[in-house]
Structure 1
């Protein structure tokens, strides 16, 4: 049952859609095909036969495709395949992938050690020369350890960058929370001051005008004017209450939101007409609902337009228009020039118009203000229907739990964030993707092991290069030196001028070439001037007998 369950889990990981995007499928096919062709061609060109070349290519292709799902297993198999065939490139790719995907320093060290043992086991079967073994160790360090350390460093760098992004996002959210809280406290203070000062004054005005309205000494016209003043003070108290509510909790009263355009504007026009102003309201189109911010902004346009007309053009004719167009509501207030004026342009608004433009922008609309054709002034606003982009004030919600959009899946197919709301009060939940203390220690250990491997690699490379040069010095000679030596020269003199020849580089050419003279002792050396064919070596052979050089020969042998 355990084996079956493991096989099912392996198959599920293999078929995981996150592991096989379209781009990755194309890349994996190209990589596997390239590695297979190079390995098969190497096997065939070295005379191993077409069957072995095809099998080696297929093995490399399968292992290359499985390296993401089974990084440790593929690494060990690639180590064995590298020494048995020409699959060195597969070892580089498998080491890179294993360094990135094997979790834990101990697991990674075990996998690389097993791959090294598998590689050296095949080397010992073919050649047990200490120099050749040292060379194979050096080659494994270059082709496996260095790519593995590089891949692990690259993976840890990506994890560190992701951690820094999450920390930065958390700091930005905390800064926004602090800024919102500071604004809310300041708004509450302003709301309290407005309620205590303006509210008291407006209430006093409403009471005094109410008492004056019932006074017997007023004429009927004066009584109507005092009534308009009382209604205006009461309306101002309602407006102040709505503004205080917005400042305190960021919400607009539903009553105002519902009656801002319809009943609210009707009331403004009726109040202006009752005060003796020539004002007319014109409507066109079928009424349609607006979002609360746009509704409130439209009401403010009419209110500001009437106020400016009363202030800068007293006694002038005023027209208020509500035009329900196909996609937006157009609200305008147009006043003519004041009676007795010379036709000069009306004075434009100041802070009131600036506030209107900002309010309209937040509601998704726009405001226009400027002189009219007859010398008056026109204030108009255009507001879209529906909720619009500013359904709620920009700071109304104060959502302290808002989260940035979750990033897409990384290269390994794992989503870097699940997009769920994170409780900012629980830092463990917020930083669940951040490297833990144990993983941090493992990272430090891995960096230490990697640094140690690099130091060992540098030492081995230096020693290996020195050893190779020393072996070449013992085993090779210049063609000019070969031509300068003549047959019949004493053996001591010739050997004093020649290298010792005691090198593993000459072990493959001893006993090859023409037959040696009977009873002689021969010294075979490699020429520094080798043939163009890399599979062949030029050999100089010196044979001695009776203390003299009796023969010297030059021939070419094929490498094993």
Structure 2
């Protein structure tokens, strides 16, 4: 039952739909076909029969297709196949790259690669007697062609995992910080709203009560009673606006839509402002030009505030001066202008006039948020002019906040980071951040351990590769000669003179040649060397043998051996 269940689970892993999307299926099939053809060519070149060649080609294609779904079994099978046949060597690199990424756990990956190396080296030494040099070179070849790609693939995969964990951690921090900043803003809004309600609300209520009582005083003239009525209406309107502002602060959101804004605080309400000023005895007139067009709610309200601020400034700083309020509908924008003439006579600002210097700053900010601008300054005749240009478009300018800093990490992880454009508080200590990230999951610690071990192994492989290359060159120098050297030696030459021209021959490269060489002359000592000429192919080596007896060269012989 367990075997049946295991086989079913294995089949599901291989045939899982997510394993074989259309693009991967085409790519994997093409790679498997190319590797199978190359493996068949190598087997045929080495002299293997067609049954063995076909079997190796089919095995290479099957292992190539299964390397993603079954990384550990395919790695072991590839090690055995590459040790037993030349065609399997081509599969080592892609299988090692795939296994390095997909085998979970450092210990499991180390065991799988070690077992594959033992199979590869062991099977490759069965047909020939093992020597220390052969064992070193075979092991070095496996390390370079399997372990190095596997480590590189594992490092690349773990680096991606670590970066993904860092991004997730950063996203979580941004979300938490945005929540904290939002809560802090809400508490500050509530505090400001409470202060405004307790202080300004009380003062405005007193003004409304006293002006209401004064309005019914029988000693006032009609003109005075009318002025007091304007003051009472202004105080009541101010109380209503204060309540709305307090409500906005407590709710934490601006109400910039037509249903939330009072109908009188838009462009249509500017005429009422002018009428109220005229009723209070201020010389003011309203001018209109162009074809009226609708504005966005925020721009509509900003136009009203510009006119209101302009009239208020004229009341305070130029009492008695004539005021002109202009509404000019241009092709692309509405121009709201409030201009007053010079102060008549020796007049000046009202003694009780208070200016905090924030009115124009607030107007400029309102205009900027809707894509417009505000200009204020004196004119040539001694008066003052306040003008605002507000576009008709419905789009509002994007608010610049601290969260838009160019060094914000959210720009590296894409637009899915929460709170884009929102406020972000200062970063904490980077070392503590890194410790928190590393301690968040056990998998991240495994990434660090795997990367460290991979670096150490890679350094060791580089050292072993350099040493092995030098050793191989030494073995070649001791085992091979050029055909011209062989031709320059003649039978009968003194042994000492001949040996000066030849290498020592003490190399593992000449082991197979000595085993397949003809019988040596009785009583003679022979030196077997390989030729540097490879014109007869990789499967055949040309061998030179020099036999000495009595201090002289008694025989030199050339023959071929099969690899």
1:354 match:
361
Structure 1 residue 275 corresponds to structure 2 residue 280: yes
CA contact (8 A) 2:117 2:142 kept: yes
1:145 match:
147
- Write the distance in 1 (CA, Å) between the matches of 2:305 and 2:50: 88
CA contact (8 A) 2:230 2:279 kept: yes
1:78 match:
78
SS at match of 1:525: strand
Change (3 A) 1:82 1:204: same
SS at match of 1:159: helix
Matching of residues 328-339 of structure 1 within 5 Å: 330=334, 332-333=336-337, 335=339, 337=341
Structure 1 residue 505 corresponds to structure 2 residue 509: yes
Q: What is the deviation of 1:451?
A: 5.6
Q: What is the deviation of 1:90?
A: 2.6
- Write the distance in 2 (CA, Å) between the matches of 1:150 and 1:314: 84
- Write the distance in 1 (CA, Å) between the matches of 2:500 and 2:484: 16
Structure 1 residue 530 corresponds to structure 2 residue 537: no
1:116 match:
117
1:425 match:
none
Change (3 A) 1:57 1:406: farther
Q: What is the deviation of 1:148?
A: 1.1
1:198 match:
200
Deviations 1:522-552 (A, max 9, x none): 6243256435566354433223456753222
Matching of residues 133-532 of structure 1 within 5 Å: 133-252=135-254, 257-259=261-263, 260-261=265-266, 264-265=269-270, 267-276=272-281, 277-280=283-286, 290-291=296-297, 293-308=298-313, 310=315, 312=318, 314=320, 316=322, 318-319=324-325, 321=327, 330=334, 332-333=336-337, 335=339, 337=341, 351-362=358-369, 364-369=370-375, 377=385, 379-382=387-390, 388-389=395-396, 437-443=441-447, 445-447=449-451, 449-450=453-454, 453-454=457-458, 457=461, 461=465, 464-465=468-469, 468=472, 471-472=475-476, 474-476=478-480, 487-488=491-492, 501-510=505-514, 519=522, 521=524, 523-527=526-530, 529-531=532-534
CA contact (8 A) 1:406 1:418 kept: no
Gaps of 5+ in 2: 346-355, 402-408, 420-434
Change (3 A) 1:294 1:65: farther
Change (3 A) 1:25 1:417: farther
Change (3 A) 1:478 1:522: farther
Larger deviation: 350-359 or 57-66?
57-66
Q: Which residue of 534, 556, 559 maps to 1:552?
A: 556
Q: What is the deviation of 1:232?
A: 1.2
Q: What is the deviation of 1:235?
A: 1.6
SS at match of 2:152: helix
Larger deviation: 440-449 or 164-173?
440-449
CA contact (8 A) 2:299 2:367 kept: yes
Q: What is the deviation of 1:301?
A: 2.7
Gaps of 5+ in 1: 342-348, 396-402, 409-415, 420-430
CA contact (8 A) 1:512 1:557 kept: no
2:98 match:
97
User: TM-score, normalising length from structure 2?
Assistant: 0.73
Q: What is the deviation of 1:417?
A: 9.8
CA contact (8 A) 1:42 1:86 kept: yes
1:412 match:
none
- Write the distance in 2 (CA, Å) between the matches of 1:242 and 1:470: 93
Q: What is the deviation of 1:209?
A: 1.8
2:422 match:
none
Deviations 1:437-461 (A, max 9, x none): 5434544553565466447646754
Q: What is the deviation of 1:224?
A: 0.5
Change (3 A) 1:448 1:201: closer
Q: What is the deviation of 1:112?
A: 1.5
Q: What is the deviation of 1:151?
A: 1.5
User: TM-score, normalising length from structure 1?
Assistant: 0.73
2:67 match:
67
CA contact (8 A) 1:309 1:318 kept: no
- Write the distance in 1 (CA, Å) between the matches of 2:440 and 2:196: 52
Q: CA-atom RMSD, angstroms? A: 4.8
- Write the distance in 1 (CA, Å) between the matches of 2:319 and 2:15: 83
CA contact (8 A) 2:162 2:447 kept: no
